[in-house]
Structure formats: C-alpha cells, structure tokens
Amino acid sequence: MKLPLLPAILACFSLTANADEAEIRKAFESKLGKIEKIAKSPIPGLWEIVTEGQVLYVDDKGTYLLHGSLVEVKTLRNLTAERMRDIEKALIAGSLDAAIKQVRGNGKNVIMTFEDPNCGYCKKLAKEIQSMKDVTVYTFLLPVLGEDSVKKSEAIWCAPDKSKAWVDWMTAGKALPPTPAKCDMAGLDKSRQLGIKLRINGTPAIFFASGERVPGYVPAAEIEKRFAAPAGG
C-alpha cells in the first residue's frame, strides 16, 4: 500500500465545513498523488476517493481518512471490495493490447492471467488451458523470478507469433527465438506496470471477466466450473 502516514497528511489540511469535491481533491491530491475519482459514498458526509488502485474514504471536513472495507450491514455486501473489482476490471480492459491472446473454440469464456515464463505453476496452468474448450485467454507477462525471466519474456514478446512462442515454451520447453535487436517493448512495460497497479506479487494470478480475482494456480476443471456459475453466483 502506498498510503503515507496519516498524521503527516491530516496535519496539513484546513478545509471549510462540508467541503465540496473540488476542495477535497485539491487538499488530498497534494498528499496522496493523482486522484482518479471522487464520489459520495453511501454514508452521508463521507466521500470515496480512488487513487493508485486503492479505495479510501474521507469525511467532508477533511478530518478523518479511512482505509478499510465499507460493508452494508443488511446485505453484508463489501462495497469496497466491489469497487476494487470494478477498478481492476477497468484497468485490465484498458490494457489488453499488452497481453498475449489465445482463442480456443468459440472463445466465449474469458480469463486474464499474469504469468512468469519460469513459474512452475504457470507452466502447469498453461498445459491445463490447452485442454479447455471455448475460452479466450489474455496472458500478461510478469517476470518476477529474476533476470532470466525478463529475458525470456522479452524473447516471447518479440517473437513473430507471441502466442505460439508462449505455448511452445510453457507446455513443451521448446527453445525461444532470439530477441531481435529492434523490438518495441512498450507492451511488455505496460504489462509490468499493470501488475504493479494490481498489486500482484506472485504468479500465476487469474482474473475472470466478472472481475473475480484468484491468486495462484487453478485447474481447468475449476476454471470451467466458474464459467458455468450464474452471474453474481
């Protein structure tokens, strides 16, 4: 979490009673960095702030800053978790050009994965995916296991057929093509930055189209079971 120490933040605030959105943005942005969105929360007098992929709450006098979950008692819905899910869905949807795409069958079911080419469980997942039908997989390269993972990721990203290079390496250990002297690494850099924003510390990490996030390896049968579950189920 990138939230600074609260005393250092709050000591600098001097908001008018019941400050409006513009005043709250001005006061908090100087301490929290770029504020992506401000909206009134379900609690009167409490504002929701979205910044750097996290959800915070501040009262309209700028006296209190809350980092935690807001839960609706009647339904036990975790409203903060729901907002985070929406935020992460939007981040991923805006970055699909930085992913390696595989389509199997009609591709109607969609998952997004973050993987390291040297990750053992990622290789297991890659083999499982080959047994699945009617799925589209967007794989973001996230080399977290050292310099060799970075080199392999660059070779895969720069391959003439990224998807084939990825699948051949992950499922059969087929040698990767040499990385060309000239290759646009912008997509790979974008994938890494997305991983940071989503706070992914290990691979694989799986995201479903619903926004559901699953850290770690999941077998194909379990993935397909989640595809078949009713929306919101």
The predicted-structure confidence for 128-174, as pLDDT tens digits, reads as follows 999 998 999 999 999 999 999 999 999 999 999 999 999 999 999 99
pLDDT(123) > 70 = yes
**Angle at CA 30, nearest 5°, toward 27 and 33?**
120
Length of the chain, please?
233
Quick check: helix, strand or coil at residue 209?
A: coil
Residue partners of 13: CB distance under 8 A and separation at least 6? 27, 62, 63
Tokens of 23: 């005043």
Closest alpha carbon to 103 in 77, 129, 76, 125: 129
Neighbour tally for 199: CB within 10 Å: 13
Read off the pLDDT of each residue in 18-35 and give the average, rounded to a whole number. 75
| The residue to which tokens 């390496």 are assigned | 169
More confident residue, 64 or 226: 226
* Confidence band of 230 (pLDDT split at 50, 70, 90): low
State how far the Cα of 30 lies from the Cα of 12, in Å rounded to an integer.
Answer: 10
pLDDT(32) > 90 = no
- pLDDT, residue 231, reads 55
Instruction: Evaluate whether 113 touches 138 at the Cβ level (below 8 Å).
Output: yes
- pLDDT, residue 18, reads 56
CATH tag for 6-70 (out of 3.60.15.10, 3.90.1150.10, 3.30.390.10, 3.10.450.70): 3.10.450.70
What does the domain layout of the chain look like in residue ranges?
Answer: 6-70, 96-228
- pLDDT, residue 3, reads 46
**CA distances, 11 to each of 16, 62, 68, 154 (Å):** 15, 10, 21, 46
CATH tag for 96-228 (out of 3.40.50.300, 3.30.160.110, 3.20.20.60, 3.40.30.10): 3.40.30.10
More confident residue, 80 or 113: 113
Instruction: Evaluate whether 176 touches 156 at the Cβ level (below 8 Å).
Output: yes
* Confidence band of 13 (pLDDT split at 50, 70, 90): very low
Q: Encode burial over 89-124: b for 16+ CB neighbours within 10 A, e otherwise.
A: beebeebeebbbebeeeeeebbbbbbbbbbbeebbe
pLDDT(19) > 70 = no
H or E stretch covering 150? helix 147-158
- pLDDT, residue 195, reads 94
**pLDDT tens per residue, range 68-87:** 889 989 999 999 898 888 88
Q: Encode burial over 54-68: b for 16+ CB neighbours within 10 A, e otherwise.
A: bbbbbbbebeebbee
More confident residue, 13 or 63: 63
